[in-house]
Structure 1
Amino acid sequence: MSLFRAETRRLSKRRFTRSFVIIALVVLGLIAGGTAYTHEKTTAQTRAAAEAAADQDYQEQLRYAEQARVNCKKNPADFGGDCDSITGPAREDISSDQFLTPQFNFRQDFPAMVIAWAALLALVAFVIGASFVGAEWNSGGMMNLLLWRPQRLRVLSTKLSALLTWLFGLSVVTGAVWTGLFWLIATLRGTTEEMTPGAWQSLGLTGLRGLGLVLVAGMIGFGVASIGRHTAAALGAAIGVIVIFQFGLAIVLELAQARFYDAYLLPAWIGAWMAKSYEITDYNAPCDFSATQGCEQPTLTITWEMAGSLFAAVSIIIVGVAMWTIRRRDIT
């Protein structure tokens, strides 16, 4: 059996991998179930029920206004003395739309679900990638493997290739099921109108960017764990990035009134990658006054190309360092 097939099979059969994937699938199922439960297709019956509820609310508001006028005439001082100004709302002020259960609009609402899918799978990819190589370093399995396969770079690159191939397959399968599931939800509990070829193309590109995010997360987790030779190294680095370089740095930059401080934080770059762009408004800078637009704060736009270049550079650097360390450092 080839090393690639052996590593792919070992990754698929690891208890940790299966458990973590099952947990992710359960979370995705809960998101889909919650979405279906909180949405309802708008029909003639639901519209009629909403109109009736709006009429009932209108009548109640009129009764409240009439009672307020009666109380005002009894105690004018408590109401400012102007009892005639107390009037109920106009009928058109109470829309029946506010009494309708929202329906799931596939074109408008599904892109957010794609982002949720990508974010969750990226977390799964990072943890599984770190555990895949970190557990072998910690248990001594890597040293045993190198005894009969002494090509260090080939062994590590094959492991990484097996991981990325497996993550690619997982992402494609879950992404297809995720799309079909929400298409069903939109059919039964919403609408699938306005799904033009351009809309499908936009969704497809969003899904591809989500796939890229998953693969990058897996590469980074794999690389950091390989450098630290332990799963905890990658998890500790992730916690450090979140706690120190996200929350801590955000507080420091905000206190220092740094310009466009959101640009130094990871969520802005992930948002730019998945949503094609992310606009940051600098509320600490003096506004630019325009005779037509008024006071406008300066903005900075992060594009998906900029975010993609950053993610590619970080992942290449980390994997490159991992390859360098396994070649230069002692294995024992």
Structure 2
Amino acid sequence: MTRLFAAEWSRLFGRRVTLVTLVLIGTLLALLTFGFTLTRSTPTPVEIELAKSSAASAGEIWDRNVDRCSKVQSGLENAEPGESFPRGCDYGPRPTPDSLLDYGFSFHRQWPSLYYTAAIVLAVAGFVLGASFVGVEWSSGGMATLLLWAPRRGAVLGAKLLAACAGVGLISVVYLGLWTAAFMAVAAGNGTVSQMTAGEFGSLLLTGVRVVVLALAGTTLGFSIASLGRHTSTALGVGVAYLMIYELGTLVLFSVVQTVDYSQKFRLSSYIAAWLTKRFTFEADAGHCRTGCVPEAAGFSGSWQQGGLVISVVVAIVVAAAFVAMRRRDAR
């Protein structure tokens, strides 16, 4: 198994598609960094003082709203007629001077969206690399040749999958490190990096871990689907079909028929969003449906634990199917 893994590891980084993928995601990082550099500007002392004053006033209002909501939802106080509160007293983050400053790039304010962008890039890259890594072996006949030398089908497929995941994991960690360093360098001119607390840096690291895990999940899905179809194009076709027909198709369908069905519950993208952002909430809009309406107060929300569980189950099912097919079908 060790020799198989070492051989597959070398083959992964010797493939042109891997090198092209690295160049593409590196180019994307360079372009984004350059773009944010153009929008960077340093706030003036007057703007900083005004932001501090506005944040203090907004913070007091935020505190009162959260306190009032908590008391009402816990039953300590009764709501006034016409008074409504967001689900879970979610008024968003407490206003800070940095969030109210109207200037260009701020790492402190914008790092979550930057990491979510990196997650999409790495998950797609992992899906393509995983699919092509095993798909080309099947389509070229290399898998049949390899099984003559190492007839243990499960071990061969497992070594390939492990090498693909380890390679993508390494690429993701290095890429996220460069991604963070690049944007922190852009923000350094604004002095915004120093405003992040230890807790916020901890949240950044945990988000980075979730991004890497998502990239590994994408790699595993691409690898397993391509192994089932024995061709790279199978995985790419399934991925595009799922996005275009199911994710976008159902969105268009439910918007046309105007019925609230919580279709988000049955979309993998909802749970990916919950995994990355730590929660996902969909509020029902009963005022725009004709039939089958749900109560106006109803809604659907998911936590990052729920998102991780759903993603894990989907990946596990597809991987199990790939290994079962590997054992049962001929190698040609």
TM-score, length basis structure 2: 0.78
Q: How does 1:73-84 map to 2 (within 5 A)?
A: none
Q: Which position in structure 2 is the counterpart of 1:270?
A: 272
Tell me how far 1:256 sits from its aligned partner: 5.5
Q: What residue identity is the alignment partner of 1:220?
A: L
The alignment partner of 2:300 has SS state of strand
The farther-off stretch of 250-259 and 161-170 is 250-259
Tell me how far 1:260 sits from its aligned partner: 2.1
The alignment partner of 1:2 has SS state of helix
CA contact (8 A) 1:126 1:219 kept: yes
Runs of 4 or more, structure 1, over 3 Å off, are 43-47
CA deviations on 1:221-253 (whole Å, 9 max, x unpaired) are: 000000000000000100110111111122223
Q: 1-side partners of 2:296 and 2:202: how far apart? A: 34
CA contact (8 A) 1:40 1:101 kept: no
Q: Is 1:237 aligned to 2:238, yes or no?
A: yes
TM-score, length basis structure 1: 0.78
CA contact (8 A) 2:258 2:288 kept: no
Q: How does 1:178-257 map to 2 (within 5 A)?
A: 178-189=179-190, 191-254=192-255, 255=257, 257=259
Gaps of 5+ in 1: 48-96, 288-294
CA contact (8 A) 1:7 1:159 kept: yes
Q: Is 1:15 aligned to 2:16, yes or no?
A: yes
Q: How does 1:1-332 map to 2 (within 5 A)?
A: 2-44=3-45, 102-189=103-190, 191-254=192-255, 255=257, 257-284=259-286, 297-332=297-332
The alignment partner of 1:300 has SS state of strand
- Report the count of equivalent residues: 275
Gaps of 5+ in 2: 49-97, 290-294
CA contact (8 A) 2:286 2:296 kept: no
Q: Which position in structure 2 is the counterpart of 1:86?
A: none
Tell me how far 1:285 sits from its aligned partner: 6.2
CA contact (8 A) 1:259 1:284 kept: no
Q: 2-side partners of 1:146 and 1:131: how far apart? A: 19
Could you say what the CA RMSD is over the residues aligned between the two structures, in angstroms? 2.4
- Percent of residue pairs bearing the same amino acid type: 35
Tell me how far 1:45 sits from its aligned partner: 9.3
Q: 1-side partners of 2:238 and 2:296: how far apart? A: 39
Q: Cα gap change, 1:199/1:191 in structure 2, threshold over 3 Å: closer, same or farther?
A: same
The alignment partner of 1:257 has SS state of coil
Q: 2-side partners of 1:179 and 1:207: how far apart? A: 10
Q: Which position in structure 1 is the counterpart of 2:55?
A: none
CA contact (8 A) 2:13 2:19 kept: yes
Which of the pair has more CA radius of gyration?
1
CA contact (8 A) 1:103 1:191 kept: no
CA deviations on 1:291-326 (whole Å, 9 max, x unpaired) are: xxxx96432111111110011011111111100001
The alignment partner of 1:193 has SS state of helix
CA contact (8 A) 1:107 1:192 kept: yes
The alignment partner of 2:103 has SS state of coil
CA contact (8 A) 1:104 1:191 kept: no
Tell me how far 1:219 sits from its aligned partner: 0.2
Tell me how far 1:106 sits from its aligned partner: 2.0
